[in-house]
């Protein structure tokens, strides 16, 4: 069984979209989306430096646009034969498009609102996120609670990302949970997927009310609890609430296993989720779409693993 996944914020890197513009019609699509969003996706995906694309209001629509470009190329190969689709954080919006819940333009407008709203919320209080390397979740999670931190991403394979105020993160650095080797600050603008993002929820709810929504045509696995969601209305409701609640990617992978996953393809800019899968899903074949050259390997995987 083949699973298609889309990465979240932090997966972008300078120039990562450049090779994708060689695909027929790709640059025209990007320029059309750029005009609709009032955001130069071509510039940010090809020429902007790391600081420019770290901006939440830029990174989120850029990642969804990249996912949609690669998904369009992959759809010609996979069609609707994927056994499940999912995304990590903002990647859930990309997955919602592939599953048929949202149209491309609607999804890009929604993620533009999401990025702006989350950037504004992040400006209220100085906050951040940090990855914990090593440790046992049964020890780490109570320790984070003691410090007032939120386990914003529980990614599986022992990987947890904590989020909170800069003071709380400094306390974590000084008082690491037993077994944690290092605490690595992430280059993000705020404490995503925590109560600090609550101001963004109301703006997203208003935007969601204007969306044209359809029920998913493929099994859609949600970050909230790893469950498969069967209605478009519920998918969108979860997309709204997701910004202020933890990402449970570990539970998503449990669902993949229950459904019999044998292969995973990660949309552009791939690498993060397949890296986790290599540790958490032994025996599952993985492919990260980094450039269009990876599409040949995707054809091979689809031939062997798609339904």
Distances 198 to 8, 103, 118, 139, 242 between C-alpha atoms, Å: 19, 26, 9, 27, 10
Given a contact cutoff of 8 angstroms between Cβ atoms, the answer to whether 267 and 273 are in contact is no
For the chain, how many residues are written? 307
R_g over Cα of the chain: 18
Catalytic, 89? Answer yes
β-partners of residue 130 are 162, 185
Nearest to 223, CA basis, from 199, 198, 243, 194: 243
Edge to edge, what strands does the sheet with 180-185 contain? 150-156, 159-165, 127-134, 180-185
Q: Locate all alpha helices (DSSP H) within the chain, ordered by sequence.
A: 26-37, 41-46, 50-54, 56-78, 91-98, 104-122, 137-146, 166-174, 198-208, 232-242, 249-258, 272-280, 295-305
Assign 159 to helix, strand or coil: strand
193 annotated active-site: yes
Catalytic residue (one of 89, 143, 222, 305): 89
Candidates 193, 196, 222, 305; catalytic one = 193
Report whether 118 contacts 197 (CB < 8 A): yes
Active-site positions?
Answer: 89, 193
């Amino acid at each position: 069984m083949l699973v298609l996944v889309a990465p979240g914020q932090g997966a972008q890197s300078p120039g990562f979209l450049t090779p994708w513009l060689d695909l027929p019609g790709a640059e025209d699509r990007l320029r059309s989306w750029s005009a609709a969003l009032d955001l130069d996706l071509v510039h940010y995906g090809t020429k902007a430096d790391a600081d420019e694309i770290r901006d939440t209001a830029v990174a989120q629509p850029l990642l969804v646009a990249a996912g949609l470009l690669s998904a369009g190329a992959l759809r010609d190969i996979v069609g609707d034969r994927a056994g499940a689709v999912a995304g990590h954080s903002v990647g859930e919006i990309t997955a919602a498009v592939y599953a048929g819940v949202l149209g491309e333009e609607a999804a890009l407008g929604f993620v533009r609102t999401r990025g702006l709203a989350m950037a504004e919320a992040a400006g209220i209080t100085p906050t951040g996120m940090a990855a914990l390397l090593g440790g046992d979740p049964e020890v780490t999670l109570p320790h984070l609670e003691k410090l007032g931190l939120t386990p914003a991403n529980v990614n599986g394979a022992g990987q947890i990302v904590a989020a909170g105020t800069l003071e709380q993160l400094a306390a974590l650095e000084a008082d690491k949970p037993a077994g944690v080797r290092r605490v690595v600050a992430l280059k993000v603008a705020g404490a995503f997927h925590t109560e600090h993002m609550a101001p963004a929820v109301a703006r997203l709810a208003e935007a969601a009310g204007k969306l044209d929504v359809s029920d998913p045509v493929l099994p859609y696995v949600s970050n909230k609890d790893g469950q498969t969601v069967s209605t478009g209305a519920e998918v969108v409701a979860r997309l709204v609430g997701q910004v202020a609640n933890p990402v449970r990617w570990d539970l998503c992978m449990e669902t993949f296993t229950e459904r019999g996953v044998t292969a995973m393809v990660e949309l552009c800019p791939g690498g993060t989720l397949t890296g986790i899968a290599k540790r958490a899903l032994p025996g599952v074949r993985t492919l990260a779409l980094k450039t269009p050259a990876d599409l040949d390997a995707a054809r091979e995987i689809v031939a062997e693993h798609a339904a």
